[in-house]
Structure formats: structure tokens, C-alpha cells
Structure 1
Amino acid sequence: FIMALNGPKGFDLSVFQGDVQQSSFNCLAQNGMKFAIFQAQRGPKLNPYAINDYKRAKIAGIQYVDFYMFPTVQKSAISQVKETVNYLKSNGVLTNNMIWVDIERKEDYYHNDCAKNQQFLTQLVTELEKQIGSKKIGIYANNWSWNDVVCSWTGLSKYPLWYAHYDGKPNFNDFKKFGGFTKPSMKQYNGDQKLCNTNVDFNIQ
């Protein structure tokens, strides 16, 4: 598991992993994980495990903890942002950390019309800026999912990019520009890895 790295490594965790125990977070920290990103919301529902994920990661000594949201056009962009931010703030886990917006097609999460999806995402990030400020927003996508959902749009390129490419390599050497993004902030380089009695994705900054 030990490898030469460009920057700090971390993991992300989705709602599907359920109630991950403190011992798993301690183990992830012992495996050198320096940051974590937890799913706060998926489509119409909040993630009931996100608050405990945050608290347990912090207890384990993982210093940097962000969240991501996985929005759907089946519900108002503004209400999804408000619900997610209120949920995190009211539980005291959204302070100086970021919310990453996951842009990929799942089931009926997006229209088959790029222009409509662009409009939806513009509304969503505009509301997020109102709620948490532009410096606290990031975008999760890869070249394929971006083109699939929003075509060649460059409307979110001012935000940091977390891109996915499961080549198993903890570096940015493979990055190809898309959507107006010229350099990444973070890469998800391995998906669905069994570690510490849970399943995580591996990331590098």
C-alpha cells in the first residue's frame, strides 16, 4: 500500500458504505490518509452517516475533511443546496471546509439536454456561493462525464477541479484539459478499494 506520492493522499466515502466505525477511520489514518471527503447528499436525500463520518475522521486525526454533493435535476437546485448546507452547518461540521459538486450522470439525475443541465448547475453553484462563498466550492468530474452532462461548457472553470481517472497512479501526469479546466487540484485515482473494513476511493492532491 505504500507508494511514492506527489502530494498528500486521502479517501472519499459514499452513503453506500453505511455506518463506518471509528476503528476503520483510525486504520485509514494509520495508513497515511491525510484528508477525507464525505458524501453529504445524493439526489433527493441527505446522507444520514455524513455527520458521524466527519466526527470520527477528526477523532482519528484526519485534519482535512470536505463534503461532496451529488445533485439531481429532479429537485430544485436551490433547495438541494439549502438542505445540504443547513444539514452540515446545523451539525457543526461545515466551517472552513469545502463542498465539491459531483457532476456525472446516474439514472435520471440529469437531463439529456446539455443546455438545461448547464442552467441547473449555474443555479446550484450560484446558491452555493451565497451560502458558503466561492472559495469553498469545487467540482468533481472527468472528461467523459463532463461532456456527457454539459457538453463543451466552460461555465464552472473558475472553481478547483477534482477529476477521476482510475489508472492507479497517484499523480496528475494523465490529466487532459476539459471544460475550461487547465489544471486539477485533486485526482481520484482508484475506485472502490477495500481497506480498513470499508470501501473507499483513493485520492491525491
Structure 2
Amino acid sequence: MKNSGINVRKVWLQVTGPINWSNNVATNINFISGFIARAKTYGITVGIYTSWYDWQQITGATTQFSNSDGLWYWSAFGQGPDAEGVASFDDFRPFGGWTAPSVKQFALNEALCGLTLNRDIYPLSGKEEASVVFELKDKLTEKINVGGFV
């Protein structure tokens, strides 16, 4: 991306779907560690996107990444508007060494004006309020190969 003039400052590593990860916790931790280390060599910070359950299943609840650049957790009851979680951080409980989240995804795969999107909430800097944002999802998933990691 840098060779194409795209300045990436931060990426979020998705650590979800335990069935898609190794059953070996050490292998998963090594992958995450390697991903973060490789990103840092390019000056890119890495946040973690996960949930309490996914993190426990995939990493054995390790706390070694709690100093990563943010936690984006998801908490929804399924897909669509009838399965939304709460649009607040009231349900957050510390896990993996994180004591506060940066972002929360509370709705998955909702349709709006012909688009499929997720709904997220994040705290406004220095305020108790929160803002709801929409995250557009492409129908195609693109994989970006970052130094050997896909």
C-alpha cells in the first residue's frame, strides 16, 4: 500500500470465529504477535477486533496484547435489526487485559438503502456521550497480504 501512495496509520486485526483459527492457543498468539510486529516495522499501529468469548477461545484469554492500540469489541445477538445489542458500552466487562474499549459493534449485516452495513459506537474524546457510526461492508471480501500474513 505504501508503494501505491496509500498512507495507512492503523489496522484492526479481526480475532473472531474460533472455528477459523488453530486449536493451538500458542499458534494463535504467535500469529497475532507476528502480525503486530510486522505492522510496527511499517509504522502501522494495530488494534484488536474481537469479543470476550472469541478472545478466550482463540487466545486462552491472554493479556499480552492489552497494550495494543485499542480494542474494538462486538456484542450483538445475531444479524439484522432485530438482533442488535445495546448502543452503549454498558455491557462491557474487562477481558484480555483491556479495561476500556475504543469501539463497539452492536449490529451486524443490516440493510439500508440497498447497502449492507454494521453499526458501531465509539466514545467522543473527553465526553461521556457516544456516537453511532455505520460501517459499510462490501459484498466481496478482499484479502490484503501484509508481509506474508493474510
Give the corresponding residue for 2:6: 93
2:71 maps to 1:161: yes
Deviation at 1:168, TM superposition (A): 3.1
- SS of the residue corresponding to residue 117 of structure 1 reads helix
Deviation at 1:116, TM superposition (A): 1.4
Unaligned stretches of 5+ in structure 1?
Answer: 1-87
More helix by share: 1
Partner residue of 1:188 out of 79, 82, 105: 105
| Closer, same or farther: CA 182–94 of 1 in aligned 2, 3 Å | same
Q: Take 2:7 and 2:18, find their aligned partners in 1: how far apart are those partners? A: 26
Cα deviation per residue 1:20-50 (whole Å; 9 max; x = unaligned)?
xxxxxxxxxxxxxxxxxxxxxxxxxxxxxxx
Deviation at 1:94, TM superposition (A): 2.8
| Amino acid aligned to 2:23 | N
Give the corresponding residue for 1:102: 14
| Identical-pair percentage | 27
Cα deviation per residue 1:65-108 (whole Å; 9 max; x = unaligned)?
xxxxxxxxxxxxxxxxxxxxxxx33443334x42000001365x
Alignment of 1:33-182 (within 5 A): 88-95=1-8, 97-105=9-17, 109-133=20-44, 136-159=45-68, 160-166=70-76, 167-182=84-99
The two structures have a TM-score, normalised by structure 2, of: 0.69
- Give the superposed CA RMSD: 1.7
The two structures have a TM-score, normalised by structure 1, of: 0.52
2:114 maps to 1:202: no
- SS of the residue corresponding to residue 132 of structure 1 reads coil
Deviation at 1:156, TM superposition (A): 0.9
Unaligned stretches of 5+ in structure 2?
Answer: 77-83, 123-150
The count of aligned residue pairs is: 114
Q: Take 1:128 and 1:100, find their aligned partners in 2: how far apart are those partners? A: 11
| Amino acid aligned to 1:103 | V
> Does the 8 Å contact 2:18/2:54 carry over to 1?
no
Task: Considering Cα pairs closer than 8 Å and 6+ residues apart, tell me whether 1 or 2 has the greater RCO.
Answer: 1
| Closer, same or farther: CA 112–199 of 1 in aligned 2, 3 Å | same
Q: Take 2:101 and 2:46, find their aligned partners in 1: how far apart are those partners? A: 14
Cα deviation per residue 1:157-202 (whole Å; 9 max; x = unaligned)?
0120000001432211110111111100000010111012111110
